[in-house]
Amino acid sequence: MNSNSSIKYRLVLMNFLQFFIWGSWLISIGNYLGGTLHFTGAQIGAVFSTLGIASLFMPALMGIVADKWLNAEKVLGLCHILGAGMLMVASTVTDPNVFFWVMLLNSMFYMPTIALNNTVSYNILEQKGFDIVKDFPPIRVWGTLGFIAAMWVVDILGWKSNNMQLIFSAVSALVLGLYAFTMPKCPIVKSTTKKSLLETIGLDAFVLFKQRKMVVFFLFAMFLGAALQITNAFGGSFLESFKITYPGTFGVTHPILLLSMSQISETLFILTIPFFLKRFGIKKVMLISIFAWVLRFGLFAVGDPGSGLALLVLSMIIYGMAFDFFNISGSLFVENEAPTQMRASAQGLFMFMTNGIGAMCGGYGAGLVVDYFTSGGITNWRYTWFAFAAYALILGIIFPLVFKYKHDAKAMSKVSH
């Protein structure tokens, strides 16, 4: 095996582990916190809001460290090792307030690694003479497969309702942390141009808010970002709630396996984005995404693990469209609209609005909604999901009225291919 082939396999393993760590707990932690530790909806939502809080500033800070002082592969390794320590501590905590702060520290170390993983991959591929646009996507898809694999392991081994999922994730993070130090060096590139403070921390893209269409786009990106974590936080608890009415059914026995169909769907719908973007444009594609969220939540409201299992499966399939048509298409739209010199900053702003403010508000807000429909420890999940569906429906009605944008198929096709 030549060195160029072997480096691809090494990057595949790195990307696989990067999301394997996250998949070990992200979808199943709600079961553990709600069903075993008896956290309230707001307390569970607060834990998921830590992902958004950390995304507000930590990726930019760690990016500066990797740009100026320490090789990217070393920053990646250190973040994962420190994150592993936080996950081990979290596995011993049962107090909701302490758990929040420990998971916030974990998120502060983990969230920057998503961008750092890409940085290391790009750097190494470039060093070895590969075409990043052509060769990175087949490597990155292993990240999604890693996320799915971790979900399956946690479900099959019966860890979805106990702290073993956190210990398992911690061990995986430690392995990747050590492995990152063995990757080819990604040397710091000294910039010859002096950057302003806003450029350094990636906030120069806020100038895009001078355009009305971009203000509307980023606001709706934030509102849709709020929807991203809702089923991650409460999907498992929802399916577990059927253990009395539908005991022994697949959805109750293996809720995480059922939910993993959402991620599988995501890997398939991503292939359709270039066609839809070129044919219909960002406005219609975003509108499709919004109404896909309506269906995602609405089908959860009317489905069940018994005779309504097909409705739940359909909801999992629709998730791929809801997520990709907003998250990936939105990123391509930003790439197309932002000036060349601030595209990286514009992508950072998109992540700031969706995974930062949106996820933070969505995680906590969803918890409050769940608590509102919970009485005597029992949640009326039908009303809860209908409330989330109504939220998405309102967005779907308002969006086409306020987002004024004329589709240019030629301009968008250059970016989407």
Question: What rounded mean pLDDT belongs to the chain?
Answer: 84
Q: What is the pLDDT of residue 263?
A: 86
Q: Specify if 189 maps to a domain.
A: no
Is pLDDT above 70 for 202?
no
CATH label of the domain that carries residue 5: 1.20.1250.20
Q: Is 228 exposed, middle or buried (0-12, 13-18, 19+ CB in 10 A)?
A: buried
Instruction: Supply the DSSP string of 319-372, one letter for each residue.
Output: HHHHHHHHHHHHHHHHHHHS-GGGHHHHHHHHHIIIIIIIHHHHHHHHHHHHHH
pLDDT given at position 349 = 76
Do both 208 and 108 map to the same domain?
A: no
* Average pLDDT, integer, range 127-138: 72
205 and 178, same structural domain? no
* pLDDT surpasses 80 at 234: yes
Q: State the DSSP code for 132.
A: H
**Residue 379 and residue 41 in contact, taking contact as beta carbons nearer than 8 Å:** yes
Query: What pLDDT does 341 receive?
Result: 63
Residue 218 sits in which domain range? Answer: 198-417
**According to the model, what pLDDT value does residue 289 have?**
92
Is residue 198 very low, low, confident or very high in pLDDT (cuts 50, 70, 90)? Answer: low
Tell me the residue type at 77: G
The pLDDT, as a whole number, for residue 415 is: 47
351 and 317 within one domain: yes
Residue 152 shares a structural domain with residue 262? no
- 209: DSSP letter: G
User: Does the residue 72 lie in any domain?
Assistant: yes
CB contact at 8 A, 389 and 301: yes
Residues 271 and 361 in one domain: yes
Domain count, the chain: 2
Task: Kindly report the pTM of this predicted structure.
Answer: 0.79
User: How far is the CA of 303 from the CAs of 124, 136, 139, 313, in angstroms?
Assistant: 46, 38, 35, 9
